[in-house]
Structure 1
């Protein structure tokens, strides 16, 4: 018969065995385990140090390249956009420093920035589609707009409001169309959909669209090939309309626009036929953005920068200076030439 003393002895034996195992493990196995962990820690520390050094070197090279580009920007951009009127269209969440830097480069290339349109979160909010549709019905002749979604119709209306018609680009003016366009921009501004700076009404030959500084939260998805967010869809409809209406259009963003849900990534994923740049923000990327817009004006659209889908870092061949009325006739002054 198994009595209490048997149980007590069994329990004591179990605890004794556990104690012996712990002691043996902490003495016999301690050194090998600690040595292995120490070696792994040393390896990771060395790897981190090498990566830090590589990062510092890359930053120094980038800073040097930007310095060189800045010092030669006048020559690189001279007359590439001579006598070209440009409107800057900013997506919600754009970076003011990027817009200001690009405006400076545009003027350096001979362009005139006639105005700026800054879209708000309300413009890309799918919940406001009905109110946007009502504003379009109130201000624009339905026959002037394409069939399709509200985003497509609004994009077409804004493109018509900003871009000069072909017969207006030599100084002519369509007074009725200008009044309608001005009314549209005023109504959209009063509704909190956008803000307007300058005098962009039917004034642009070319358009520079700036992507958000960071991808929309709603666009976050497992892969860059995921379905576009509603915000991106609305902005890309506008970009397509501006590209179709103008002589040249470029969508530019910083490298953040390449992240999952980024606007430039989405444009390239959808096979955009307009020009995109993913490296705006630094001196080199800003110069490339202006050159890309000049190439687009010359009829050469492409994708430029460092991300997937890019044709190269910059247009090849480079666009040449645009001949202005006062320019002397020379091979280098021919539109679209190398230079």
Structure 2
């Protein structure tokens, strides 16, 4: 039989073992353990100080780069976007300060910010997709030609409304001005010469604004030669991020197709996996992308990328995966100013040379001097 004395001895033995263990742990093992912990702590402290020093150096270098950018930006951007009309499109959640800075750089390049479209949260809301689709079809003069998702259609219609139409004529041969007015009536009409509806840019923009999908600043209707689309400052929630990014990339591609030179810009986070620009680059877009906007140097790169896009090329710039380089190389050159008298002068010269060619004895010489196909 196991009696009380047996239990008492067992309990005493357990406590004795614990006591011996504590004594050994606080004497024989104390010094080696503490020395190891102190050594590891010192190493971690040293690494932390090195990382902090590197961070401070990087911040100083970035600040110096920004100062250098501000000093040389005027020369680097001079006439790169000469006489172009630029529309700034801000995604929901875009940084207003970055948008303002981009506008300043655009003007340094000789362009004019003719207007802004500020997309509202409702534009990308999952519950608004059907409304966006229906509205694009309602304002379109050719709804049967619209295809793709709702943001393809919205981008197409808004792009048509923004695109500059200088020099185009209606069916009666009257030339449209930048506001969609004709020389014949001096006011915006909504019918063409055959009685059909004509694309009314201001009405299209107003329809999207009145629908609570965007806010319009200034007068961008029929004024855009180029477009800058600014990405959100913060990423959408993970469960909704891919859908929102898909909507914005579709929208930007449609704007590019209608207007022409376009650049999608954002901060460094947009170029990382899951970011808007990273997702856009995976589709190998025809428009340019820049993932370093938000600092003077990055804003300069964005405008240089837009200037390069004037030639029909568009590439990826910044520091994210898949970029061509940090900035365009070689840098795009200045745009030659338009000469309104050049066309008439060249026409007069061609007529004079053609008259000379009609004279006897100079026909062969005339063949060598009369311009062919505008050359």
Same fold, TM exceeding 0.5? Answer: yes
Partner of 1:311, secondary structure, is coil
* In the alignment, structure 1 residue 207 sits paired with structure 2 residue 227: yes
Give the C-alpha shift of residue 234 in structure 1: 1.1
State the alpha-carbon separation in 1 of the partners of residues 242 and 321 from structure 2. Answer: 19
Residue aligning to 2:330 = 317
Question: Cα deviations across residues 20-78 of structure 1 (Å, max 9, x unaligned)?
Answer: 11221122111111111111111111111111111111111111111111111111000
Match runs of 1:248-259 below 5 Å: 248-259=261-272
State the alpha-carbon separation in 2 of the partners of residues 131 and 199 from structure 1. Answer: 25
Residue aligning to 2:209 = 189
With structure 2 as the length reference, what TM-score do the two structures score? 0.80
Moved more, 263-272 or 71-80: 263-272
* In the alignment, structure 1 residue 233 sits paired with structure 2 residue 216: no
Question: Cα deviations across residues 97-142 of structure 1 (Å, max 9, x unaligned)?
Answer: 1011110110010001100000011101121112223322332234
* Contact 1:82/1:110 (8 A) holds in 2: yes
State the alpha-carbon separation in 2 of the partners of residues 302 and 44 from structure 1. Answer: 42
The structure number with the bigger radius of gyration is 2
* In the alignment, structure 1 residue 302 sits paired with structure 2 residue 315: yes
Moved more, 169-178 or 229-238: 169-178
Partner of 1:265, secondary structure, is helix
* Contact 1:145/1:153 (8 A) holds in 2: no
State the alpha-carbon separation in 2 of the partners of residues 58 and 290 from structure 1. Answer: 24
Residue aligning to 1:92 = 92
Paired residue total: 321
Moved more, 251-260 or 235-244: 251-260
With structure 1 as the length reference, what TM-score do the two structures score? 0.89
Moved more, 61-70 or 251-260: 251-260
State the alpha-carbon separation in 1 of the partners of residues 168 and 58 from structure 2. Answer: 48
State the alpha-carbon separation in 1 of the partners of residues 148 and 65 from structure 2. Answer: 46
Residue aligning to 2:105 = 105
Structure 1 segments of 4 or more deviating over 3 A?
A: 142-145, 165-179
Flag the 1:154–1:325 CA change in 2: closer, same or farther, 3 A: closer
Residue aligning to 2:20 = 20
Gaps of 5+ in 1: 221-227, 330-339
Partner of 1:229, secondary structure, is helix
Partner of 1:38, secondary structure, is helix
